[in-house]
Amino acid sequence: MYCLLWLVIVGHAAAAAYLPLPPAIQCNGSSGCTVENYQGIWVDRKPCKAAQALYPTSEVELFNAVALASRTGSKVKVVGSSHSYNKLVCPGGDDGIIISTQHLNSLIHVNVSSLTVTTHAGVQLRDLVERIAEFGLTLPHSPVWHGVSMAGMISTGAHGSGLWHRGSSTHDYVVGMRLITPADEEEGFAKIIDLSEQDEDLNAAKLSLGVLGAISQVTFQLEPMFKRSASLEVEEDTHLDGDGIVKFAKEHEFGEIWWYPFSGKALFKVIDRVDADTVGDGANNMVILDRLGVDLIESLRRGSETAEESGNLGVLCQEETKMMNLRQRSGDGFVNSGKTFTGYPVVGLNHRMQTSGGCEKEEESLPVITPTGIDFNPSHEPDKDTGSEFVDQDAHLPWQTTDDKLETCMWNPTINGLFVFDTAISVPISRAADAVADIKRLRDMNPEPMCSLGYIGGIWIRFLAASSAYLAGSTESIMFELVYYRARDPFTPRLHQDLFEEIEQILVNKYGGRPHWGKNRDLAFANMRARTVAMEKFLDVRQRFDPSGLLSSEWSDAILGIQSLPRGVQTFQDHCALEGLCVCKDDSHCHPTKGYFCRPGLAYEEARVCRYETRESSSSK
Ligand SMILES: Cc1cc2nc3c(=O)[nH]c(=O)nc-3n(C[C@H](O)[C@H](O)[C@H](O)COP(=O)(O)OP(=O)(O)OC[C@H]3O[C@@H](n4cnc5c(N)ncnc54)[C@H](O)[C@@H]3O)c2cc1C
Ligand SMILES: *[C@@H]1O[C@H](CO)[C@@H](O)[C@H](O)[C@H]1NC(C)=O
Ligand SMILES: *[C@@H]1O[C@H](CO)[C@@H](O)[C@H](O)[C@H]1NC(C)=O
């Protein structure tokens, strides 16, 4: 059964039970604690260990936690919601201290005269946007997922999409911050550093990967509430050529694009600012962030496993255009009011349009009745004329079960659900057209593998402004994000993995792309000095704030390019390229016995990728 993503969700069954997510941090008496990311497995599949975990509820308690680490010389790391993909939240070594901000979330202080809000580090995005809206204020941009903490969000450079004004990166709205750094005994082993926009060090602290200190509070610059107006259009991907992408980015304040290279089409999300008094009560409830049935989630996964194992992408490819059109016609999560999509434009308050979720919590979220995606089951033909099935509560879809169905997040690691690589690389805007042209060349050489990208929605293209944060990008840039299948078994190559590796290396190496700090596989973080605004200045601040490196780990040192470290970001061992721990140098880094050999790229010769070759073709090389 090919049941794929973007299916039509007809609403939560009223009696659906909830399968909770496991806590990111788990402790077991004297054997210590572990911390996991949202998918439950780190890039290197090794656990992240610590001796203990602390849960401060106030700045004083946070201070005491940092002081404890400092007094005992322990490695320490602050964990927000642990939704980052790579090992940023892991303290160095195995016996450090984890500080969770889960309960550091009671402060949301709005100043209506300065249009700012000051929050505790652990406040969740969903609570922030709702609360400030009560005061007629809004944070113009944010990640699409509302289950992140304020400090975690800014500390990885999390963003929305848009080049205008301050841009789409949340750290560029930070105008103040309080953080606790380790200190000498005379100072009580910790101290509070209070930064405002006048302090140059804020450029380091507002995007810090957690290595400068434990953030207690963050102050954001807000704007008076406005609305967004959204329309979705499917276009030929020739619209991405030349200055096409850049023109689109400059014309639409919140625009973004989902590119389906196999079909040669792209879904343009045309999203603009309109006045707060424009009529419309819309929202954007992204289906993949809402509660979904466990049966459904597992059947999606099985569908992709079957495609991988059989090597047959036929159905995926056949359905891609249909799927994309269905997204467009169904609103793709946009609803005009309540639960229904009736047509474009969808106009709604900024905070209802910018971020969503729902799967992270036990309580019933806003039920989604809209067409939220695409049913990939070939036997289920969508109604081409009206799209009316989307609001038909009685629609009977094969995967729908009855009242006892369990619901959860797609990525809940306790079931066989979403398990993917997440490659997100931003390329300077001046190189975007060339990057697109290279991906198209690769597509034209071998179109079919590209359709496995359609599974999660194609290549997601978003826009970032130049930033003053030392660890951000110094130019306007275009973020390309690819989410693709990862095998449960570390030694199983991914079908057509050479293609994904080549795109990754084109973006990182050929175009000097900058990886999203909170996503990506290890290899993407090589040579970050060349890709950031001011790495030297950042490291200088780190030296002043945390000279003993208590908040740093081997991984954070590696990605910051600290030279004293024996290894760079890559780990060379057998099969290392299968999971992006390395760029292959020889065949052993791939999987020769399974037919995967280290070969040059097809469109970018300097790339080194693991390509499947039959014995005949490989011996002829
Ligand atoms: C479903 C999903 C959707 C996403 N969508 C987007 C998106 O649209 N755009 C985007 O850019 N990203 C997106 N992300 C990535 C996400 O926004 C980032 O990974 C973000 O950093 C996660 O926040 P967190 O609270 O989980 O941080 P964590 O992963 O817990 O921590 C991130 C970093 O912040 C540090 N940190 C956290 N709290 C503190 C503190 N109090 N003091 C000091 N350091 C601290 C940690 O040490 C770590 O280095 C998404 C992730 C998921 C899982
Ligand atoms: C806790 O640790 C003990 C001792 O190491 C181990 O035997 C036990 O299985 C662990 N329990 C859990 C729930 O992990
Ligand atoms: C609110 O902001 C104004 C203007 O910046 C400032 O003068 C005032 O002190 C702030 N109020 C509080 C309670 O912080």
Residue 279's CB: how many other CB atoms inside 10 A?
A: 7
With beta carbons less than 8 A apart as the criterion, state whether 553 and 91 touch.
Answer: yes
| CA 30 to ligand 2 centroid distance, Å | 9
Strands 116-120 and 214-221: antiparallel
**Which ligand number lies closest to the CA of residue 115?**
3
SS3 294: helix
- All residues at 6 or more sequence positions from 396 whose CB lies less than 8 Å from its CB, including other chains: none
pLDDT at 382 over 90: no
Per-residue confidence band for 367, with pLDDT thresholds at 50, 70 and 90: very low
Hunting for tokens 């975990």 — which residue is that?
53
**What does each C-alpha distance from 374 to 231, 296, 300, 548, 591 come to in angstroms?**
18, 13, 12, 52, 35
Residue appearing with tokens 């209506």: 112
Ligand number with the minimum distance to the CA of 29 = 2
Quick one: pLDDT at residue 29?
A: 85
Mean pLDDT of 474-491: 96
Which two structure tokens, joined as six digits, stand for 607? 């790339």
Residue 28 CA, closest ligand 2 atom number:
1
φ, ψ for residue 430, nearest 5 deg: -70, -20
Measured from the Cα of 518, ligand 1's closest atom is 19
| pLDDT of 384 | 35
Does residue 30's CB lie within 6 angstroms of at least one atom of ligand 2?
A: no
pLDDT of residue 564: 59
| Whole-number pLDDT of residue 538 | 98
Q: What is the mean pLDDT of the chain?
A: 89
% of the chain surpassing 90 pLDDT: 80
Tokens of 337: 């009011």
Using an 8 Å Cβ cutoff, are 301 and 252 in contact?
no
Distance CA 496, CA 606 (A): 18
Phi-psi map region of 489: left, alpha, beta (phi>0 left; psi -120 to 50 alpha): beta
In this structure, the residue with its CA closest to atom 4 of ligand 3 is 114
Residues 79-93: what's their mean pLDDT? 97
Query: How far does residue 170's CA lie from ligand 3's centre (Å)?
Result: 22
Q: Which ligand is nearest to the CA of 152?
A: 1
What spacing in Å lies between the alpha carbon of 202 and ligand 3's midpoint?
Answer: 19
Residue 31 Cβ contacting ligand 2 at under 6 Å: yes
Q: Are 421 and 85 contacting, i.e. CB atoms less than 8 angstroms apart?
A: no
214's tokens = 């434990």
Token reading at 249: 């980015």
Q: Checking DSSP bridges between strand 346-349 and strand 227-236, what pairing results, if any?
A: antiparallel
Q: Which of 101-115, 357-371, 446-460 has the highest mean pLDDT?
A: 101-115
Antiparallel, parallel or unpaired: β 97-100 and 76-79: parallel
Q: What is the mean pLDDT of residues 517-531?
A: 94
Token pair for residue 317?
A: 């490819």
Residue 111 Cβ < 6 Å to ligand 3: yes
Please work out whether the CB of residue 28 comes within 6 Å of at least one atom of ligand 2. Answer: yes
Average pLDDT over residues 6-15: 46
Please, are residues 406 and 292 in contact by the beta-carbon 8 Å criterion?
A: no
Output the CA torsion sign for 138, 141, 142, 143. Answer: positive
Q: What angle do CA 323, 328, 330 make, to 5 degrees?
A: 90
pLDDT at site 139:
98
Peptide bond into 592 cis (omega under 30): no
Tell me the DSSP string of 298-330: HHHHHHHHHHHHHT--HHHHHHHHHHHHHHHHH
Least confident of 17-21, 46-50, 220-224, 614-618: 614-618
Please give the structure tokens belonging to residue 213: 């200190």
Take atom 14 of ligand 3 and give the residue whose Cα is closest. 111
Q: In this structure, which amino acid lies at residue 333?
A: G
Beta-sheet strand order (sheet of 52-54) = 52-54, 97-100, 76-79
Statement: residue 14 has pLDDT above 80: no
Please report which confidence band the pLDDT of residue 318 belongs to, taking 50, 70 and 90 as the band edges: confident
Residue 26 CA: nearest ligand 2 atom is 14
How far apart are the C-alpha atoms of 193 and 545, rounded to whole Å? 9
Residue 22 φ/ψ, nearest 5 degrees: -70, 150
pLDDT value of residue 55: 98
- Assess whether the C-beta atom of 386 lies below 6 angstroms from ligand 2: no
Could you report the per-residue pLDDT of 104-152, keeping only the tens digit for each?
999 999 999 999 999 999 999 999 999 999 999 999 999 999 999 999 9
User: What is the pLDDT at residue 204?
Assistant: 98
Residues facing residue 260 across a β-bridge: 265
78, 101, 207, 460, best to mutate for ligand 1 pocket (most atoms within 8 Å of CB): 78
